[in-house]
């Protein structure tokens, strides 16, 4: 597997961004995959290395505000960064005469679907894995307060808000490495606080009548506590939210968690994913 790393400037402020393309020996198509918040350009390459071995090139990138790139981070800014790199991916696919597929996991589904709705001809098919399409912030705040009360009951002290929030994030995202002043690759001193406050109050870009045209495969774990806390509490409402954006969606629930942690579940999901792309 050959890895190609590109760094370039984009946007009115000339922020430096990084994107990565993993090359297969004889690609059948290109898969474009937004990263997770706290991840970097090689995160999706590592997660979906079997796709490359199955004959697909894979392109991903790094959001602003993360290590090795410039700019400040906010949720709404991920939409712009995704559009810029998607333009590069479309050019690469057109030049090579290959179909372009989209793959969005968790939060990465939001910038993927947002841009797919605005570029109807960009993607041949889309795959969503444990996608978050609605940020249910009221329930998220209630979840954090319940967790905070459990900390107080467990330790018999009133922990500081910063410590409690760090503990809560570790509970929700045990796979994201912790460093002082960082959430994974996201540098906490480069958060655009004012924009993030606005995003918390109003950021739900997919709940504005957007719809994507390509066929969509949606895999989600029945035991995913992150979806349960951050998105919605009922399976039927979750599926309806996705169908309102993706009318041609096929669901494939699996008995797994947010990371599809067990080898059997991952293998089953990957087989279904490849079958969908090849159909």
Report yes or no: 260 and 266 within 8 Å, Cβ to Cβ: yes
Domains (ranges, CATH) in the chain? Answer: 2-278 (3.40.50.1820)
CA distance 22 to 49: 9
CA distance 87 to 241: 27
Residues across the chain? 279
pLDDT of the chain, 279 residues: tens digit per residue: 788 877 665 554 556 778 899 999 899 999 999 998 877 778 888 889 999 999 999 999 988 776 667 577 777 888 988 999 999 999 999 999 999 999 999 889 999 999 999 999 999 999 999 998 876 666 666 667 777 777 777 777 666 666 676 677 666 666 666 666 666 666 665 665 556 656 656 667 887 778 999 999 999 988 776 666 555 557 788 888 899 999 999 999 888 777 777 888 888 889 999 999 998
**Tokens 């067990």 appear where?**
262
- Give the pLDDT confidence score for residue 97 in this predicted structure: 97
- Its pTM stands at 0.83
* N-term to C-term CA, the chain: 24
CA–chain centroid gap for 208, Å, is: 19
């Amino acid at each position: 597997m050959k890895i190609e790393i590109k760094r370039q400037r984009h946007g009115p402020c000339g922020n430096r961004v990084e994107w990565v393309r993993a090359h297969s020996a004889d690609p059948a198509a290109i898969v474009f995959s937004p990263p997770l918040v706290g991840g970097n350009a090689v995160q999706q390459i590592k997660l979906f290395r079997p796709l490359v071995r199955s004959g697909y090139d894979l392109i991903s990138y790094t959001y602003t505000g993360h290590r090795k790139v410039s700019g400040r981070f906010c949720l709404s800014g991920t939409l712009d960064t995704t559009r810029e790199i998607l333009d590069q991916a479309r050019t690469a696919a057109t030049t090579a005469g290959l179909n372009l597929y989209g793959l969005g996991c968790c939060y990465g589904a939001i910038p993927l679907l947002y841009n797919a709705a605005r570029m109807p001809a960009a993607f041949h098919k889309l795959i969503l894995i444990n996608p978050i399409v609605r940020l249910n912030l009221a329930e998220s705040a209630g979840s954090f307060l319940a967790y905070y009360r459990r900390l107080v009951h467990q330790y018999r002290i009133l922990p500081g808000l910063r410590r409690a929030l760090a503990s809560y994030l570790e509970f929700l995202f045990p796979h994201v490495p912790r460093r002082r002043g960082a959430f994974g690759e996201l540098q906490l001193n480069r958060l655009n606080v004012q924009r993030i406050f606005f995003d918390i109050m109003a950021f739900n870009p997919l709940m504005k009548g957007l719809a994507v045209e390509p066929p969509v495969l949606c895999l989600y774990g029945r035991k995913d506590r992150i979806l349960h806390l951050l998105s919605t509490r009922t399976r039927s409402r979750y599926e309806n939210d996705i169908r309102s954006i993706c009318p041609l969606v096929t669901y494939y629930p699996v008995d797994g968690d947010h990371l599809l942690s067990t080898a059997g579940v991952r293998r089953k999901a990957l087989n279904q994913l490849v079958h969908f792309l090849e159909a």
